[in-house]
Structure 1
């Protein structure tokens, strides 16, 4: 987003939504009339993104009831490209690309067409193996990821990740997305679909730079309401990652929660005893790999267990899950938080965001 648009979205503004429909690389419609809708993202789900649209059945002489397989709103491989517009004034609109989404359901009721679309990882999630998948002797983590995902999605690898070979004898029977998750856990790495529709595999981190200051100051804030939640469910203070050497010897590595800001830190008030989470994968063939996987798994577990705040605010189309924001309010002062879930309305409604508190 430009600095001009960023300044505008932190107060009331006029918005617009632009939706295109594509099928097999061909543009079917470039101006779908979106009357209402929303975009929901949740990093804890296998397919994190979900979009719903409400479209008038007839608009400007076009029938939007998908009665043919090549209709722009049919669910036979059609993909939507969504852009969110911010009115800059003077007849200018800045368009922010929200990404690509696969149409999964369409229904017509009277004069209204309802469309549901999912993130592009749904292409991988629904494509179960026809026969067991067995890597070859020349396969590496990178080549396995590409074999599991492409050509449904193009895979891009962050240059800071180190590729390595995989042991013989690996096999996955049916769950393609589950196989990808196991590879990422063992690497260790994280994956997300970018706004351009690529699957980016990158290191999993739990630190970052804030992209927005969220405050309940009535003179400058955009927050309407705070709601908090905390739970012991999914809370662990140590992760044990198990693997095996080429001769079958069992090995393991551990990672302890030693973060002084963590409410679950080892030796802290959460529990006087270790509370372990155990993972196991034959892709882990050294103690170093086990320790690295344990550390990354611990960071991933924090997404579900740490203190969370629900925020209602003016819609901000520049935000996505995984972004870092600085929060002042609800007992916090300039605390770094990361967005775990969000719901961005495609109309003049409040946006809701769930952030995980990293400090404070």
Structure 2
């Protein structure tokens, strides 16, 4: 969860006055610290390559300024590299507390009538659109850390959690065009996850759903509504992962992880299928059996994100919540059940917030 004072945390548990402000930057130049926002919303979905999408409605004229960017490449709302830093404000009575929601790239702006519609995406857009001009291959001295830096910097500055153990990257690895595909393969082999933080850093950390709950949600309390999401499918459901690699002398190696969670509907040996239903992956970045096993366990956790039981929640907006946060849920037959936020939609006007949360074992 984003940093908030205890006073603000108490206020957002009920109805409150809110506001949104935005700064526009072009490189190191502050173009304006006061983009007027009349409406908008922020959507985040951890399953997407670029998880963040924002839409803003801005008055065409405000305080004597024309907010239609037209063809001006230096306009605060133009889509020529401009980035917005967005803060969500909570009225505490004596003052406003501003919660930084992060930095976002303007992808389009269009004037219609008296308003300008602005579309933004997360900073991973810079990596997703920057295809490799020539095949990328780590050198014999590269590590996973230096490989990641070479793929994304200077577009984004990388930070690595101390729990991640760096190791050599295989020089037999090669990516032809897609930087995001390369990052995903490194993340899988490293049993890691990455995200853009609110201060615009690409943070790499161990893939885990562990953590202390940041909020308790109770169905029917404070306007909160919790409902099961009914859709189920066998598509993309696996009860085993096989991760294959190659050791230093060229022998094929592998590690296997099984879904052994008794609360999982896909548990290996259970009713889903008593035989293995494997997902197989292979990477030259895996050079030991231990690495293969860690990668298999990591991939199993990612697959469970896609197929686990989910709940839909509508509630009073909480500007501190982020995808990946752990919450507890009481209702729909659950009592203080740990869940993780997979998607969220935060309105930038007085309205309900919606979440999709995944039930943890």
Equivalent residue number for residue 152 of structure 1: 155
Equivalent residue number for residue 339 of structure 2: 337
Q: Distance in 2 between matches of 1:224 and 1:10?
A: 14
Give yes or no for contact 2:147–2:169 (8 Å, CA) kept in 1: no
Equivalent residue number for residue 228 of structure 1: 229
Shift of 1:246: 2.8
Give yes or no for contact 2:226–2:311 (8 Å, CA) kept in 1: no
Equivalent residue number for residue 293 of structure 1: 295
Matched, 1:143 2:146: yes
Q: Equivalent residue of 1:291, what SS?
A: helix
- Structure 2 matches for 1:84-163, cutoff 5 A? 84-90=88-94, 92-163=95-166
- Structure 2 matches for 1:1-360, cutoff 5 A? 1-67=4-70, 68-90=72-94, 92-218=95-221, 221-231=222-232, 232-359=234-361
Shift of 1:227: 4.2
Give yes or no for contact 2:89–2:98 (8 Å, CA) kept in 1: yes
Q: Distance in 2 between matches of 1:3 and 1:167?
A: 48
Q: Distance in 2 between matches of 1:136 and 1:331?
A: 54
Q: What RMSD over aligned residues (CA atoms) do the two structures have, in Å?
A: 1.1
Alignment length, in residue pairs? 356
Q: Distance in 1 between matches of 2:80 and 2:209?
A: 38
Q: Give the TM-score normalised by the residue count of structure 1.
A: 0.97
Shift of 1:70: 0.5
Q: Equivalent residue of 2:274, what SS?
A: coil
Q: Which has the larger displacement, 168-177 or 341-350?
A: 168-177
Q: Distance in 1 between matches of 2:230 and 2:89?
A: 33
Q: Give the TM-score normalised by the residue count of structure 2.
A: 0.96
Q: Distance in 2 between matches of 1:51 and 1:5?
A: 23
Return 5+ residue gaps in structure 2 as ranges: none
Q: Equivalent residue of 1:124, what SS?
A: helix
Q: Deviations over 1:87-145 (max 9, x none)?
A: 1113x111111000000111111111000110000100000011111111110000000
Where has structure 1 moved over 3 Å in runs of 4 or more? none
Q: Distance in 1 between matches of 2:227 and 2:349?
A: 21
Shift of 1:267: 2.0
Return 5+ residue gaps in structure 1 as ranges: none
Give yes or no for contact 2:330–2:336 (8 Å, CA) kept in 1: yes
